[in-house]
Structure 1
Amino acid sequence: MNLKLAGALLVAASAAPAAVGGPIAYGICQTGCNGLAVACYAGAGFTFGVTIIGGPPAVIACNVALGTCMAGCATVALFAPTP
């Protein structure tokens, strides 16, 4: 590679925005949320992933907590730096 091309690539690379999206952190966060949801369901006497028509309040509370956790992942972990 000649020196002019190397210099041009260096300038282009330094001008590019840094990638800070964290798909790995997001996936780990989502896995943690689902683990907590499984524990919540088990604590309420139900199995996570089974369809329940007219869910009891404990299951609805687990679903609300899962949604809150996943929303937190989407707003925080997606912007964490990826190692």
Structure 2
Amino acid sequence: MMATTMVTKTALFAILLFYMCSISAEAGPAAAGVCYAGCAAVAVACFAAAGFTFGTVPGAVIVATPALAACNSAFGVCEAACMAALFMPTP
């Protein structure tokens, strides 16, 4: 039950990060880089909450573990949202 709660909190944080990156980023490539770093930090925290180390887990284990699949999916959505920041005008 605790792992599910942590994944839920992490998913909510990922959604918050998504909105922060997509609404307030106006620095072009620099903002995209910051956004990507934020996504990775959330993914690392999400994997840690599930008891795994991000970047060391084989794909088959990620697919077979619901908590890791949710972390991986949120990471993909967050990274895709950062693409919007990449095309913002650089002041």
TM class, shorter-length: 0.5 to 0.7
TM-score (ref. length: structure 1): 0.67
Is 1:50 aligned to 2:56, yes or no?
A: yes
Structure 1 regions of 5+ residues with no counterpart? 1-19
- Counterpart-to-counterpart distance in 2, 1:50 and 1:82: 36
- Counterpart-to-counterpart distance in 2, 1:58 and 1:23: 31
Match of 2:7 in 1: none
Match of 1:61 among 39, 64, 70: 70
After superposition, give the CA deviation of every residue in 1:12-63 in whole Å (9 maximum; x if it has no partner): xxxxxxxx87111111100000000000001111100013333211111000
TM-score (ref. length: structure 2): 0.62
Aligned length: 63
Answer whether contact 1:38 1:48 (CA < 8 A) is retained: yes
Q: CA deviation at 1:80?
A: 2.3
- Output the aligned Cα RMSD: 1.8
Structure 2 regions of 5+ residues with no counterpart? 1-25
Divergent runs of 4+, >4 A? none
SS of residue in 1 equivalent to 2:61: coil
Q: Which has the higher helix share?
A: 2
Is 1:79 aligned to 2:87, yes or no?
A: yes
